[in-house]
Amino acid sequence: MRSILSGLDFAEMTLTELEDTLPNGFHDSVLNGIDIRLAEGQVVLRMDIDFSQPDGEDGVFREAEIVLEGMQTIALDGPSRHLPPRATGLDIDCFTPTAKQYPGLAELPEEVRKNVHSLYLGGDWNSYIHLAAKSARVVWTSGVEAD
């Protein structure tokens, strides 16, 4: 497994490949916001990425923007019920979806389907964001901080 911390240039990496470079993937990370830039074909996920070590301190996060280039599809589920505004981001988990989790998956062209990655928004939201892009990169916006 490659390490995103090594400082190497990871051009033309998919979101799944990018996730594989992170110590915990996107597991237990926090989604703070999404910018959809239609004219540029970009999606930017503003996140706190979990850098906690299995035998170490919990709650170690690093702020980042995950920049998805060449947007191929995006589908956003709303929260499972009406919720008041939140002061903090949403806990997420990421995975490659099945048709049950993303009913529109089978209708996508194969070249898009192979890039689809899903974010499960936990807690009160209990919903999904499904997206695909030709490439993904990380832009670190802060150092590692304890929760």
Do the beta carbons of residue 103 and residue 128 sit within 8 Å? no
State the average pLDDT over residues 51-74. 88
State the average pLDDT over residues 29-48. 95
Mean pLDDT, the chain, rounded, equals 85
pLDDT at residue 7 in the model? 43
pLDDT at residue 109 in the model? 96
Specify the higher pLDDT residue, 56 or 59: 59
Q: Residues 101-134: pLDDT tens digits? A: 999 999 999 999 999 999 999 888 888 999 999 9
Does the pLDDT at position 5 exceed 50? no
112, containing H or E segment: helix 110-113
Does the pLDDT at position 9 exceed 70? no
Per DSSP, 125 falls in state T
Global confidence as pTM: 0.84
| Distance, CA of 112 to CA of 87 (rounded, Å) | 34
Query: What DSSP assignment string belongs to 9-62?
Result: ---SB-HHHHHHHSEEEETTEEEEEEEEETTTTEEEEEEEEE---TTS-S-EEE
Instruction: Provide the percentage of residues in the chain whose pLDDT is more than 90.
Output: 61
How many Cβ atoms sit within 10 Å of the Cβ of residue 105? Answer: 20
